[in-house]
Amino acid sequence: MGDNNTSQKRPLRSARWFRKDDLPGFVHRSTLAAAGWSREDLMTRPIVGILNTWSDINPCNLNLRALAEEVRTGILEAGGIPFEVPMMSISENIIKPTSFPFRNLLAMEVEETLRGYPFDAVVLLGGCDKTQPALLMGAASARIPFVFLASGPATPRSATGGQLANATGVWRLVDQLRAGQSQCDFASFENSVMGTVGHCAEMGTASSMSAICEALGVALPGSSLVPATDRRRSHCAREAGRCSVRLANEGGPRPEEILDARAFDNAITLLCAVGGSTNVIIHLLALAGRVGVPLTLDRFDEIARRVPLIANVQPAGEHLTERLMTAGGVPALLKTLKPLLHLDARTVDGRTIGEIIETAEVVDPEVIRPLDRPVKPGETLVVVKGNLAPDGAVMKACAADPKLFRHRGRAVVFEDVQTIANRIDDPALCIDENSVLILRNAGPVGAAMPEWGMLPLPRKLLERGVRDMLRISDARMSGTAYGAAVLHVSPEAAVGGPLALVRDGDIIELDVPARRLELCVEPEELERRRQDWQPPPRTHVRGYRKLYDQHVEQAHLGCDFDFLRGADKETLPEGLFDGWVGGW
């Protein structure tokens, strides 16, 4: 092992545990002697955590156990002492009632684990949708230097008939089946759709989060899109391990020294360029709140107006993320976006974004398009406001039918997802292709914000060939999905937002170019309805879900807990209890 302290710029945090000849130092060292580490090791080498969201029940993260071994090797090679710690694994499609509320729970677990243990730096291993933002949020609040590594995209297989089986394909298949048109064997599709370990392989939420981690500067360049089953991902893991020891020895950069306003601008720019998931908007707002960056929905809209869709990947484009990687990956995307970026933004790699992209090349200009030849014209994401969404709502414009960008239609209101299931295919439902489907009580408080925002179209309209309609809700939408869905309406219906006041037959007007979303009902009538409105009963009386209901913020703020927002909330300084042993 090399000399680990030659480049040290800040004192090691772990020295408070291990480098004192007092009773706590004795207890801490003797405890870890049982794990194989000597007094000499603990008194001279940096301590690096590997926070791992691996689980058998989460196939998106299933390769993280093996990757953790590679990270461990990298840490040892660089002279650090690795300690792997299992974290909660949030399996998107399995966990009930929905994965979303558990993001904040995992973020709290990460923060407190990092605060409580003697880590000088940490490698964060995530994959499936909520594990990634939760790890970032917790580590940002703990202010421990970190490098993030994703599990990597899965490699989708072909179902019977040759149709590519991936998550975006599922949504198309469901519509085709409901319209009676698909020839695809549903069971074959089911067997193929999660064909390998790894997260969803289109630019859904997981791939979007991974990619923007490079733009944020918290993941190593080129690491995000390497497939989960590709041997090169092991190399990324070893390099992440080595990088974490460098961060430990140099005392940073710390999260708050990387995650500044420039980093968030760069991340939003990349998110727009790849037509990424609307869920990332919520996660970036929450992360910014953790580090005290005053990010708002308006900033997303400002940046989206100048960034074209240049990545030809699903769901907005044609290909999977593996093609994007072989076309040059995120470094090549960032190079193409160079005039729109803050090139002096710092990264965990030690270089600035500008320095990283110097050597990047676009290998396939059909997959990574030049700025003047985008995949589609217009903005990829838009933020709309109006009397139906005073604090804003979002729409993935690049995945919607542009014919609906200026639209007036009559509302068909669903109180909850069960009502949709009961009514949507009722032949007697009064609805046509110009109607506006409204789902409410699906926001952060109402239903923990599930991905119900892409409401199913009525079978009778699907059979007539209708494939998109305007849908409005306070829910989220899967990053793999598509359609004219106005999402994250804030404030939500369950806390008395105007969405709660819409009635069947009301005229709704969406004007995307003007960024307006209006409920065309007289103010006096809306006030009368408000007087009659009753909040839905809160159903959680104990435990985490009660805490969640009481403290979750609205979508335009990122749905974090109100007591976790802000960079300077911790009142007990680190080191207060260093002279004590907490137990034996």
Residues that bind ligand FES (CB under 6 A): 60, 92-93, 128-129, 199-200, 204, 206
d(Cα 236, Cα 214) in Å, to the nearest integer? 13
Q: Is the peptide bond before 97 cis (omega within 30 degrees of 0)?
A: yes
Closer by beta carbon to ligand FES, 154 or else 304: 154
CA nearest neighbour of 446 among 478, 422, 476, 423: 476
Cβ-based nearer residue to ligand FES, 64 or 128? 128
User: Residue 146 — φ and ψ, nearest 5°?
Assistant: -140, 160
Nearer to ligand FES, 14 or 166 (CB): 166
Q: Which is nearer to ligand FES, 120 or 214 (CB)?
A: 214
d(CA 113, CA 119): 9
Residue 406: CB minimum distance to ligand FES, A: 33
> Closer CB to ligand FES, residue 12 or residue 209?
209
Q: Where do runs of H (alpha helix) occur along 34-130? A: 39-44, 64-77, 100-116
> CB 479 → ligand FES: shortest distance, Å?
8
C-alpha span between 322 and 478 (Å, rounded): 20
CA dihedral of residues 448, 151, 245, 335 (deg, nearest 10) = -90
Return d(Cα 432, Cα 275) in angstroms, integer.
29
CA distance 195 to 482: 22
> What is the C-alpha separation between 374 and 299, in angstroms, rounded?
22
- Provide the β-strand partners of residue 470: 436
The minimum distance between CB 57 and ligand FES, in angstroms, equals 11
φ, ψ (nearest 5 deg) of residue 394: -125, 160
Q: Which is nearer to ligand FES, 274 or 382 (CB)?
A: 274
DSSP three-state, residue 356: helix
Q: Least separation, in Å, of the C-beta of 129 and ligand FES? A: 5
Q: How far is the CB of 257 from ligand FES (least distance, A)?
A: 29
Q: How far is the CB of 157 from ligand FES (least distance, A)?
A: 15
For ligand FES, give the closer residue by CB, 316 or 411: 316
- Residue 438 to residue 505: CA distance in whole angstroms: 11
Shortest gap between Cβ of 401 and ligand FES (angstroms)? 24
Cα gap 568→47, rounded to integer Å: 25
Q: Residue 92 or residue 109: which is nearer to ligand FES going by CB?
A: 92
Q: How far is the CB of 166 from ligand FES (least distance, A)?
A: 10
